[in-house]
Amino acid sequence: MILNFLRLLKILRVATKYGLDEIAISGLKVPRTAKLINTIIFWRDISAPRGKRLRMALEELGPIFVKFGQVLSTRRDLMPPDIADELARLQDRVPPFDSDLAIAQITRSLGSHPEQLFASFERDPVASASIAQVHFAVLKNGKEVAVKVLRPGMKKSIDEDVALMHVAAGLTERWWADSKRLKPREVIAEFDKYLHDELDLMREAANASQLRRNFANSNLLMVPEMYWDFCSSSVIVMERMHGIPVSQIERLAAEGVDLKKLSSDGVEIFFTQVFRDGFFHADMHPGNILVSIAPATFGRYIALDFGIVGTLNDFDKDYLSQNFLAFFQRDYKRVAEAHIESGWAPPDTRVDELESAVRACCEPIFDRPLKDISFGQILLRLFQTSRRFNVEVQPQLVLLQKTLLNIEGLGRQLDPNLDLWKTAKPYLERWMGEQIGIKGMFERLKAEAPRYGHILPQLPRLVHRALENAQRPHGADTELLKLLVAEQRRTNRMLGFFVYFAVALGVGLGAFQLFLRFQPVL
């Protein structure tokens, strides 16, 4: 309790020091005299831009706040660009934790000392971040592995800091009316969930395993295998991957990797994850991507770090493909209609108003060559516009938009002439075709077939019961039900007629045959 209080005091002290109290996200300008008074009374200099001050404050408050800033920087639909840009510069500058602590964590989680578990274990970590660090090791069967170990004591400090963030968000929302637009409580709740997901390494291992299965037959992407016997929620052991970080473009070129192909492969992998699997790696920063130069897998991407993944359902995929296709045909009316039809925008939204708002924000983007158009930017503008029309942007789509920006950035670094639209269009069209065309109907029927097998035998009984119930007059639907009963009676009569007819025909034919057989006798 006292510790919490002291931490809260520290947060307030840092916030005052960097003048966070006067960060006017709504665009409110603080008068110069007020700044001067602030400087004299609190002995602080708040002349630096607001984004920079916010970034420095978060760095001073420690790794959890740094992480918070990094996550906030991806919410460009909420944050003004100057703040988002500055927060995107936040780096995890945490020293590695003591190797003895890592060894103790492994021993506690896996039940044996690394010396017993592995043939060899590298004490010095290969990488260290705010949540976990990675050590290389070799299994007793000779396989090279990477061991990811959760930073000890993380859960407690996260819980404490996030609890304070919840309090701060509640107070901000109550006392600063304008902050409601930024949804501080919602943002903190999302961050809380995100951190707790990252704290469970088993979840990360499961994500990796799913992605590996999805790309098992692909020669575009490799995902490390998880060694489940050595995995727990605070330690995971996976296949060690070898490759060149994708950011080292000159090295890749010197090795003879085709950068143009690499660039379009990246886009293809992303759209396959989105439209085929509805399951995508959502932490695609260059540090998590390697490129293999081993002869057997030359030029293939290697993905690492599966803490954040996004999942999309058919509804999300429809939303994306419809909007992108309409966008590229500059059919803003269709974009507006799609929002209303799908229930994203409230039903009383005026199509023409939404259409003209979308046109106003997107037309400038199209005023440049296709190869320079950013899909991520389009989505972002769309989210910002639709928010004004009370459209709740779903977190998975925000995650997708952020990943799309990463993929585009990466792709254009590798090939400045990358035409994203050319690579993406077939995916969107295939998806739409599968959803709308005859093939789509057939596919869906096929998917539903096992369920029909279960329902069909029960159908006559269900219909009969429904119709019987319907005969008991209750409610306004009785007219329709009467019609159904009449229809069933008519069908019964027809069936009866056919049965009588068939029997009569059978009896008639039998009699005729008898007559033929006994005719000579007669």
Ligand X SMILES: Nc1ncnc2c1ncn2[C@@H]1O[C@H](COP(=O)(O)OP(=O)(O)OP(=O)(O)O)[C@@H](O)[C@H]1O
**In the complex, least distance from residue 61 CB atom to ligand X, rounded to whole angstroms:** 18
Cβ-proximal residues to 418 (8 Å cutoff; 6+ apart), any chain: 263, 264, 267, 371, 408, 411, 412
Strands 132-139 and 289-291, how do they pair? unpaired
Detail the residues annotated as belonging to a binding site.
Answer: 126-134, 148
Instruction: State which residue, 280 or 327, has the beta carbon closest to ligand X.
Output: 280
Q: How far is the CB of 197 from ligand X (least distance, A)?
A: 12
Instruction: List the catalytic residue out of 161, 283, 314, 316.
Output: 283
Smallest gap, in angstroms, from Cβ of residue 34 to ligand X? 39
**Among positions 19, 51, 63, 224, the unique one binding ligand X when judged by CB under 6 A:** 224
Q: Is 283 assigned a catalytic role? A: yes
Q: Which is nearer to ligand X, 38 or 207 (CB)?
A: 207
Of 152 and 440, CB closest to ligand X: 152
- Residue 295's nearest CA partner among 325, 267, 256, 263 is 256
- Find the shortest distance in angstroms from Cβ 217 to ligand X: 21
Kind and range of the H or E run holding 504: helix 478-518
Q: Give the side-chain half-sphere CA count within 13 A for 152.
A: 13
- At 406, list the tokens: 């990463």
Q: How far is the CB of 97 from ligand X (least distance, A)?
A: 12
Amino acid at 43: W
| Binder among 15, 127, 206, 467 for ligand X (CB under 6 A) | 127
C-alpha 273/C-alpha 312 separation (Å) is 10
CA 448 to centroid of chain Cα atoms: 26
* Among residues 69, 114, 299, 307, the one that binds ligand X under rule CB under 6 A: 307
Tell which one of 132, 165, 380, 481 touches ligand X (CB under 6 A): 132
Interaction between residue 129 and ligand X (CB under 6 A): yes
Q: Which is nearer to ligand X, 63 or 266 (CB)?
A: 63
Binding flags for ligand X, 146-175, as an x/- string (CB under 6 A): x-x---------------------------
- Cα three-residue angle 244-145-154, rounded to 5 degrees: 95
Interface with ligand X, residue 199, by CB under 6 A: no
Q: Extract the annotated binding site for ATP.
A: 126-134, 148
CA distances, 181 to each of 235, 344, 347 (Å): 39, 18, 22
Q: Which range touches ligand X (CB under 6 A), out of 122-130, 372-380, 384-392, 439-447?
A: 122-130
Distances (CA, A) of 209 to 6, 40, 148, 300, 446: 43, 58, 15, 18, 27
Size of residue set near ligand X by CB under 6 A: 18
Q: Which window, 77-85, 121-129, 211-219, 293-301, contacts ligand X (CB under 6 A)?
A: 121-129
Of 128-136, 258-266, 268-276, 367-375, the window that binds ligand X (rule: CB under 6 A) is: 128-136
Point out which span in 127-135, 383-391, 422-430, 434-442 binds ligand X (CB under 6 A): 127-135
**Which lies closer to ligand X via its Cβ, residue 158 or residue 238?**
238
Token digits of residue 134? 């990675």
- Quick check: 257 and 167 in contact, CB under 8 A? no
The structure tokens listed for 68 are 């918070």
- Which residues in the 267-306 window bind ligand X by CB under 6 A? 287-288, 304-305
Q: How many CB atoms lie within 10 A of CB 184?
A: 20
Q: Which of 482, 319, 291, 321 is nearest to 393 (CA)?
A: 319
| Contacting residue, 11, 131, 398, 424, with ligand X by CB under 6 A | 131
Q: Single out the residue of 9, 24, 126, 455 in contact with ligand X (rule: CB under 6 A).
A: 126
What character string, x for contact with ligand X (CB under 6 A) and - otherwise, covers 230-269?
Answer: --------x-xx----------------------------
Per residue, the 3-state secondary structure of 39-104, as one string, reads HHHHCCCCCCCHHHHHHHHHHHHCHHHHHHHHHHHCCCCCCCHHHHHHHCCCCCCCCCCCHHHHHH
279: number of Cβ within 10 Å: 17
Contacts of 504 (CB under 8 A, 6+ apart): none
User: Strand, helix or coil at 173?
Assistant: helix
Asked if 466 contacts 478 with a C-beta cutoff of 8 angstroms, the reply is no
With H, G, I as helix, E, B as strand and everything else as coil, classify residue 238: strand
Closest approach of ligand X to the CB of residue 98, in Å: 16
Shortest spacing between CB 151 and ligand X, in angstroms: 9
User: Is the CB of 127 or the CB of 206 nearer to ligand X?
Assistant: 127
359 within 8 A of 382, measured Cβ to Cβ: no
Nearer to ligand X, 75 or 281 (CB): 281
Shortest distance in whole angstroms from residue 295 CB to ligand X: 19
| Footprint on residues 70-109 left by ligand X (CB under 6 A) | 92
Contacts of ligand X in 390-449 (CB under 6 A): none
Nearest to ligand X of 284, 379 (CB atom): 284
Report the interface residues with ligand X, using CB under 6 A.
92, 126-127, 129, 131-132, 134, 146, 148, 224, 238, 240-241, 287-288, 304-305, 307
Query: Which residues carry out catalysis?
Result: 283
